A and B are shown apart, each in its own frame.
Chain A
Amino acid sequence: MRGDTKAMFDRRLVTHFDWWFATTILAMALLGILTIYSSNALAISAFRRTLYLRQMTWVGIGVVALVAACLVSYRTLGRFAYVIFGLSLVLLVLVLVIGKAGLGAHRWIRVGGFAFQPSEFAKLGLVLFLARYFDDHRETLREPRTMLVPAALTTLCMLLVLKQPDLGTALLLLFIALSIMLLLGLDWRRLVPFAVGGAALAPLLWMLLKDYQRRRILVFLNPDLDPLGAGYHIAQSKIAVGSGGAFGKGWLAASQSQLNFLPLNHTDFIFAVLAEQWGFLGCLVVLLVYFYLITKGFQIARDCTDLFAAVLAAGVSAMLTIQVLINTAMVLGMMPVVGIPLPLLSYGGSSLLVTMLSLGLLLNIHMRRFMY
């Protein structure tokens, strides 16, 4: 039967490919392009007006990445999980050393004409690492000492990212790791001493934060504190979102977000542009789509037969969830401003690529669920 299996597997893979899932992903990416276009349509700078074209290129690359992520069995990928994670760490160190300073942070590495963000790839790297590690130690999951190495390496990852400085992604890494550990059965009560310790250390952590980060937190608590900086951002964002009303102002009519009132309107605050144009209805639809993607991801995790795949799927889903929740909460003024992009919709090659790869891995696992 061996000779036939390859052909058989190929066909079965294709039948088991979740077309709805894939189409939804593509639709969201296209929505992203459209929203970016509309957000910058009235921009003064010609460069900004063509940003949607760059996003299109990224989406194109992303689709290829998605397909590529499905081709090879995820098991093969798992064999290299440690290597990939190591590579992410190396890149994180590299970006601190030679990173291109944009907006006062060392977040990007330039290769040829492209700039990519190692911190984005580190997210997926971390998930892969944790999945592989817990699978290797599946016998000793209940023992607390199994958590030591993951905790240590996660902290290392976080610190490297924090140094850039990128507080948002660092927190994201923390939450992803915590989610995975909790899902694996980590007793939440064990975390209480850490929470207490963290609260006690809060003043020290406060000292370590940079000025603008502190300002963001303070402004969140009292928006009138910094009306020109972060407070301005939040105020304008709420106005944009709220003014969308029930059905939105319509395509290209988002005056608040289009007319320079909302900085970063095509990256972190893209949801506000969406909300202003399509109103409550539009937001509802988009949130439902995200909910669908996430739930599907967790479903895949539940139906997995091997631990690596399960943790991988759950980790990816957690990653998506946290990003969507944090970004949207920030745009709606429920959270201090942190630099976390909205998956698939925000402008940004690295973010889009990593999201596509992650979702591709979900498809990968789902396709092969009968194989293992």
Chain B
Amino acid sequence: MEPLFRPPAQAITPRIRTAVLCVGVGFLVLLLRLWYLQILEGDRYFTLSTNNRVRVRPVEAPRGFILDRNGKILVENRPTFDLYATPEDVTNPKDVAAALAEILGNPPREIEARLAEGRERPYQPLLLRKDLDEPMMVAVEERRLDLPGISLRVRPIRAYPSGGIAANLLGYVSEVNQTQLAREEYQDFRPGENIGQAGVERRYDAFIRGIDGGEQVEVDARGRALRLVSRIEPRSGSNIYLTIDKRIQDAAETAFAGKKGTVVAMNPTTGEILAMVSRPSYDPNLFAQRLSGEDWQRIATDPSHPLQNRAFQAQYPPGSIFKLMVAIAGLESGALTPETKFNCPGQFYLGNVKFDDWKKGGHGTLDLRGAIVNSCNVYFYQAGLRVGIEDIVKTAREFGLGEPPGLGLGDEAKGNLPDPQPRRRGQPGWSAGNTVVASIGQGLVVTSPMQLLAMVSAIATGGTIYRPWVVKKITSLSGEVLDEYEPEPVRQVPVKPETLAFIRQAMLGVVNEGTGTRAKVPGIPIGGKTGTAQVVRKGEGKGQADLKDHGWFVSFAPVDNPQIAVVVLVENGGFGGLVAAPVAKAVYEAAFGARQPFPRAGMGTTEAKEPEIGD
């Protein structure tokens, strides 16, 4: 580009004038419009802006229902009425407070103070009271003219027609809290809006919550609605069908009454969760209404952790259940055969250290099947040493222990498997004693109930592990299926079919004649394994309730064609065969429709002796 003298840029000149003319016309049009709005219609708009006000009110969408696999309602909604005040429209707070005091029963000064709180935002409706009962509502309606600025609003809240069953699985709904509002993923939420906070309600909140609607209302100086300018209907959320079977869930809840711990029933061939109980639990209705600060504190800091879902968020030593891993590892590597025999005199000496069996006097000489059926500790001390800790841990890992099962409902306990290290400077290293203890599922071995359920399901199905899942399908309000889920095989455990067949038969023996006879249901072949996990070392804290052993029972049925697998964990319940097995029996009875009365004390004989220590 070179500067040089040129005549004016004629290319552009002629049209500039036209351009300015157009601009002028444009501005003129604007001025005309302004004239219209401000001069001609000015009075009307002035009235609208001062005396009349237009309010926008969101209308909360009803959340979708949560149902069991057959359509029985587990969670639904009911209408509730809240009392609101719009401070700007409350022209005489003193009189209004006095009138409300009569209706609500609060002292007038308290109500006045609350109304005063809203003065910063005079156009924002202020919540006075949630969930009015009918007499109050009637009273408010009757005295409407004395209560300018006061209004009732209906909104849906959660209702639980089945009581609080499966509370930890279903979760609860409550207002978004301050901490959440400060985070980016909650940026679309208003304060006071509800959101699923745990369990299924939380995980599937996006589907369940629906889309809020709204109302644009013209109100006069007294807050009376003059005209509904427009209303957009809220869109209900989608319904969630769980894989849960309410019948089985009810049976599990009843059988587990008064206990702490968890029961989970699953279809081993698909991974569908049929029932899930976690105790202690909480009443979800408490959360549906606004929870007081003290109530929340009480629940959140309760040392028994009622909000925790013990099925997959808690972990415990598996106790004798782990013997199955030792057995399988041994059969696979050849270190053990079905004919392998060890003698059990009641105790075992490793060098100078004594390890006891739970049965005083011992079991005598047993083969592998006998050892499983009778849950002999001494047999497995020796078997574990022969198999070796590396193979045991390897097998356990293959069966999914040490990894979270992948339920997708929140944090999952990982459990723990030993990582045997040789002796090094400064470290004691792994010793034979550690192996002995690990062989009966104590020491460094820790599992969650879900993990053991997955493990026993794999045994039942011949080695296929499926991801556990709880949501079967999601439908719109009209029933149109939006999403349907399928079983997802996660892994095939590389184990010989003969090994698993042997184990299954041994587990059948546990229930028929072994330590698990309290789970026996006539007509249904059930395979199981009992376990009793020590909370403290032998001899310490004997008699203290919260330090009693945990009772386990894992099982599946029918053995020849497994449809259901069940895990029961009774915290501090004592012996697995005594406290956990009967719960599983109740589950199977409900599932297969057997009509057997619940076993009363003293009925029937069992082959196994009551375990005195751990089994």
Contact = CB atoms under 8 A, between A and B. Distances in A.
Contacts of B33: 329, 332, 334
Contact of A307 (B11, B26, B41): B11
Contact of A287 (B15, B27, B44): B27
Given A235-B54, A325-B30, A227 B38 contact: no
B8 interface: yes
Contacts of B46: 242-243, 245
Contact of A241 (B31, B45, B229): B45
A10 to B, nearest CB: 18
B482 interface: no
Contacts of A342: none
Interface string A130-174: 001001101001000000000000000000000000000000000
A184 B15 CA distance: 8
A240 B37 CA distance: 10
Interface string A297-322: 01001111111111100100110010
Per DSSP, chain B at the interface is: helix
Contacts of A329: 30, 33
Nearest to A225: B230
Interface stretch (A13-21, A23-31, A112-120, A252-260): A252-260
Contacts of B603: none
A306 B9 contact: yes
A276 B23 CA distance: 25
A224 B120 CA distance: 31
Given A280-B38, A303-B8, A239 B49 contact: yes
Contact of B37 (A241, A260, A305): A241
B38 to A, nearest CB: 4
Nearest to B3: A372
Contact of A242 (B11, B16, B17, B44): B44
Contacts of A308: 1
A328 B30 contact: yes
A242 B45 contact: yes
B123 interface: yes
A260 B123 contact: yes
A127 to B, nearest CB: 14
Contacts of A246: 38-39, 42
A309 B13 CA distance: 12
B1 A78 contact: yes
A126 to B, nearest CB: 17
A241 B11 contact: no
Nearest to B232: A228
Interface string B294-335: 000000000000000000000000000000000000000000
A185 B11 contact: yes
Contacts of B48: 239, 242-243
Nearest to A371: B3
A279 interface: yes
A136 B2 CA distance: 10
A248 B44 CA distance: 14
B558 interface: no
A291 B49 contact: no
Interface string B21-38: 001101101110111011
Contacts of A295: 20, 23
B16 A255 contact: no
A183 B42 contact: no
A158 B586 CA distance: 70
B524 to A, nearest CB: 56
Interface residues of B, number: 47
Contacts of B35: 280
Contact of B6 (A235, A236, A275, A305): A305
Contacts of B422: none
A213 interface: no
B16 A302 contact: yes
Pick from B3, B19, B56 the residue with the most CB of A within 10 Å: B19
A332 B30 CA distance: 8
A75 interface: yes
Contacts of A179: 19
Nearest to A76: B1
Contact of A310 (B12, B20, B27, B232): B12
Contacts of A306: 3, 6, 9
A179 B18 CA distance: 11
B7 interface: yes
Interface string B231-249: 0100000000000000000
A105 interface: no
Contacts of A44: 120-121
Contact of A184 (B11, B50, B54): B11
Contacts of A260: 123
A238 interface: yes
B124 to A, nearest CB: 9
Pick from A141, A238, A245, A284 the residue with the most CB of B within 10 Å: A245
Contacts of B44: 242
A259 B54 CA distance: 12
A176 interface: no
B216 interface: yes
B169 to A, nearest CB: 35
A-B CB proximity, top 6 nearest: A242-B45, A227-B216, A243-B49, A227-B230, A310-B9, A245-B42
Interface of B: 1, 3, 5-9, 11-13, 15-17, 19-20, 23-24, 26-27, 29-31, 33-35, 37-39, 41-46, 48-50, 54, 56, 120-121, 123, 214, 216, 229-230, 232
Given A228-B56, A246-B39, A259-B123, 6 more contacts: A136-B1, A183-B19, A232-B54, A239-B54, A291-B27, A328-B30
12 contacts: A185-B11, A185-B12, A228-B214, A242-B38, A244-B42, A245-B38, A245-B43, A302-B16, A307-B11, A309-B9, A332-B30, A332-B37
